[in-house]
């Protein structure tokens, strides 16, 4: 392989990385990332997830963010920059994989460009692979795990299977949304292994996965009850509490791909690519196996994510890299078929492709097709459509809430709250103001619980009823709330506090009346 294609993919990914970084520092925002970043900040103060505060996620992302914040400052900009870099590295790994492994040599550069654009300019990846949640980190981990898995079946030794196990299990230790990746990769390695002993690779994979689970095992050893509640019970049994219309919401999310041009194009090409690989390609068994693995990973992730309640469109971004690999095959099949028909006068015999070759001649049949060496136009049209789809999404979300507005609210809350005073606010404001939240207020969503008092205390939870009692009693020096006017009056805030300001639609009260 010459250096020019590698340089092209590296340059394209570098441009994408610059765009991701710019977006991450200006418009990237997700409401839920507030409690993720607040958890990382709490870790910097010496607290531990599960044991000292409620954190209903696997622990890796919180400690990952905390580590980078210790080096570069506990701001959202640090977490966003790191997420952008990890997303860009994941895209680079995918592009390099297609450049090396796409079965049709003359299409490898085009396939790599298609993969980089299909993933890097995907709206969900671009908009949420740049926030402080686990998307960017896990995106990189699952792509890297896939690379390690497909490489290890062709080589002897334990390093690659151990890497595949470590990376895929590390992704699950950052978010359980990626949980299906590890078992599928392991099963695929055992089925398609070509060199070395299967059971040795099984041991290597499990050893690598065990290492990544050691932090979670440490928490479990300290408190099995708290760890199980935060990691499993909260997510499996309690996420839908106090969410009216959660089922309708989930159905809308699962059907949202119909309204997305990017999702439609990617899915149609991926399905077409899978059918082509299965029915019409004359590629080697081991080449087709890698595409089948992508199909299984995308399907398993989509099914797993769809079973979560409630779910969101952005969760499905983990399927995008695997769908993109299949889409490259689909675009190759579509582009070659169109060019074949044009160059062969739409002769039904010629357009159908050459006869199946004898064993050992897999590449000749594809190489001799009239359209096999003309990837530029199909790739260009695809990339243009994907770019237009991203531009449309960014335009539609241009006026959405951003961190700069949250900073204005936190600034006002810091101004009106005395040093050492207690504020009632959301996780974003606690994080930006660098004021520790009162115990039990690290996660606003946890207030929906109304368990027995002993359990509430054990799990570091405060019920909504208890919070409202404290608000009515005037226990806070300042209050930030997004409630409607009727609810504000019910809580007695205008009676309790002398001063009020509205900053970006957030109501701020301070100065308790004597």
Q: What is the DSSP letter of 226?
A: H
Domain assignment of residue 483, given as a range: 403-512
**Are 433 and 489 in contact, with CB atoms under 8 Å apart?**
no
444-451: average pLDDT:
86
121-135: average pLDDT:
96
pLDDT, one tens digit per residue, over 224-262 is 999 999 999 988 877 766 566 666 766 777 777 777 888
Inside any domain, residue 156: no
Instruction: Please report which confidence band the pLDDT of residue 343 belongs to, taking 50, 70 and 90 as the band edges.
Output: low
Question: Residue 68's pLDDT is what?
Answer: 98
Inside any domain, residue 227: no
CA distance 494 to 488: 8
**Alpha helices for 193-313 (secondary structure H):** 198-222, 224-228, 246-254, 261-275, 285-306
pLDDT, one tens digit per residue, over 172-231 is 999 999 999 999 999 999 999 988 889 999 999 999 999 999 999 999 999 999 999 999
Q: What is the DSSP letter of 238?
A: I
Question: Residue 1's pLDDT is what?
Answer: 61
Closest CA relative to residue 433, chosen from 331, 360, 508: 508
Count the alpha carbons within 13 Å of 400 in the hemisphere toward its beta carbon: 13
Number of folded domains in the chain? Answer: 1
Inside any domain, residue 280: no
Instruction: Please report which confidence band the pLDDT of residue 101 belongs to, taking 50, 70 and 90 as the band edges.
Output: very high
Question: Residue 350's pLDDT is what?
Answer: 42
Q: Which residues have a Cβ under 8 Å from the Cβ of 491 and sit 6 or more positions away?
A: 468, 471, 472, 481, 483
Instruction: Please report which confidence band the pLDDT of residue 306 belongs to, taking 50, 70 and 90 as the band edges.
Output: confident
Inside any domain, residue 69: no
Inside any domain, residue 51: no
Predicted TM-score of the model (pTM): 0.91
Inside any domain, residue 407: yes
Pairing of strands 497-503, 506-512: antiparallel
Inside any domain, residue 121: no
Inside any domain, residue 394: no
Percent of the chain with pLDDT over 90: 76
Say how many Å lie between the first and final Cα of the chain, rounded: 78
pLDDT, one tens digit per residue, over 358-387 is 444 444 445 545 455 678 888 999 999 999
Question: Residue 245's pLDDT is what?
Answer: 63
């Amino acid at each position: 392989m010459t250096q020019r294609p590698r340089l092209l993919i590296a340059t394209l990914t570098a441009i994408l990385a610059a765009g991701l970084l710019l977006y991450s520092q200006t418009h990237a925002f997700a409401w839920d990332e507030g409690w993720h970043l607040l958890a990382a900040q709490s870790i910097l103060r010496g607290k531990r997830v599960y044991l000292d505060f409620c954190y209903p996620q696997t622990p890796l992302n919180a400690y990952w963010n905390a580590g980078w914040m210790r080096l570069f400052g506990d701001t959202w900009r640090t977490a966003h920059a790191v997420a952008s870099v990890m997303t860009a590295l994941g895209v680079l790994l995918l592009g390099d994989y297609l450049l090396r492994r796409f079965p049709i040599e003359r299409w490898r550069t085009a396939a790599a460009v298609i993969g980089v654009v299909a993933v890097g300019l995907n709206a969900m990846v671009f908009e949420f692979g740049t926030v402080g949640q686990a998307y960017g980190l896990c995106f990189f981990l699952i792509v890297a795990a896939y690379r390690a898995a497909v490489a290890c079946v062709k080589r002897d030794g334990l390093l690659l299977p151990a890497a595949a196990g470590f990376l895929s299990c590390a992704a699950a230790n950052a978010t359980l949304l990626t949980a299906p990746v590890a078992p599928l990769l392991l099963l695929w390695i055992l089925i398609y292994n070509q060199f070395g002993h299967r059971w040795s690779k099984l041991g290597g994979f499990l050893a690598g996965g065990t290492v990544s689970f050691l932090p979670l095992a440490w928490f479990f050893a300290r408190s099995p009850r708290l760890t199980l509640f935060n990691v499993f019970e909260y997510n499996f049994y309690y996420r839908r509490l106090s969410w009216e219309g959660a089922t309708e919401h989930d159905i809308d999310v699962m059907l949202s791909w119909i309204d997305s041009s990017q999702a439609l194009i990617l899915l149609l090409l991926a399905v077409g690519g899978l059918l082509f690989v299965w029915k019409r390609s004359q590629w080697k068994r081991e080449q087709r196996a890698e595409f089948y693995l992508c199909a299984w990973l995308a399907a398993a992730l989509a099914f797993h994510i769809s079973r979560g309640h409630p779910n969101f469109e952005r969760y499905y971004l983990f399927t995008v890299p695997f769908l993109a690999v299949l889409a490259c095959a689909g675009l190759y099949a579509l582009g070659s078929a169109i060019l074949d028909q044009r160059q062969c006068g739409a002769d039904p015999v010629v357009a159908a492709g050459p006869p199946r070759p004898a064993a050992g001649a897999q590449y000749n049949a594809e190489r001799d097709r009239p359209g096999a060496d003309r990837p530029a136009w199909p790739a260009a049209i695809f990339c243009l459509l994907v770019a237009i789809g991203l531009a449309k999404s960014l335009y539609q979300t241009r006026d959405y809430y951003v961190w700069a507005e949250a900073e204005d609210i936190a600034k006002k809350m810091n101004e009106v709250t005395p040093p050492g005073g207690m504020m009632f606010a959301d996780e974003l404001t606690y994080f930006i103001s660098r004021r520790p939240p009162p115990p039990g207020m690290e996660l606003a969503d946890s207030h929906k619980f109304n368990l027995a008092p002993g359990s509430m205390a054990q799990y570091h939870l405060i019920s909504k009823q208890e919070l409202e009692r404290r608000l009515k009693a005037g226990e806070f020096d300042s209050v930030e709330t997004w409630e409607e006017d009727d609810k504000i009056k019910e809580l007695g805030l205008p009676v309790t506090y002398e001063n009020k300001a509205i900053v970006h639609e957030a109501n701020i009260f301070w100065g308790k009346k004597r």
